[in-house]
Amino acid sequence: MSKYKRMGKKDWVKIIIYITLLIGVITIGGIFLLPSYFYIWLILTFGSMLLFIRWHIRTFAYRCSRCGCEFEISLLTYFISPHGPGWKYLKCPECKKMSRATLVRKMEKS
């Protein structure tokens, strides 16, 4: 049995809500903290981004569009890989080819 499942509407809604909250924190922080407290705003921005990315890596994985292999990625790979909505350009650990890997949700442990 697969450890992953296709992305559903609830998954996309959750991602959109989290991104909206992230943008809100950065924007509101910028309004109140810039330019006097630039470094505090910078820490707030990077901290909230790291929390979002950490959640994303723990919740989602990717499926190779060439061979169908499902795999997880590291924080560094998340940062340096080109991506778009629902995909990331990654090298598959199975077939060793670069392709647009699609986003899949990790199954919750019961």
Closest C-alpha among 10, 19, 12 to residue 102: 12
Residue 108 has pLDDT above 90, yes or no: no
Q: What is the pLDDT of residue 109?
A: 64
Per residue in 98-107, pLDDT (tens digit) is 999 999 999 8
Secondary element (H or E) of residue 25 = helix 9-33
Pairing mode, if any, of strands 98-106 and 60-63?
antiparallel
Q: Please give the mean pLDDT across all residues of the chain.
A: 91
Residue 1 has pLDDT above 60, yes or no: no
Residue range 9-25: mean pLDDT, rounded: 94
What is the band of 34 on the pLDDT scale with cuts at 50, 70, 90? confident
Q: Domain extents for the chain?
A: 4-106
- Omega before 35 cis (within 30°)? yes
Residue range 25-50: mean pLDDT, rounded: 90
C-alpha 87/C-alpha 14 separation (Å) is 17
DSSP one-letter code for 107: P
Residue range 71-83: mean pLDDT, rounded: 93
Residue range 27-46: mean pLDDT, rounded: 90
Alpha-carbon distances of 101 from 21, 28, 52, 53, 85, rounded to whole Å: 26, 34, 20, 17, 11
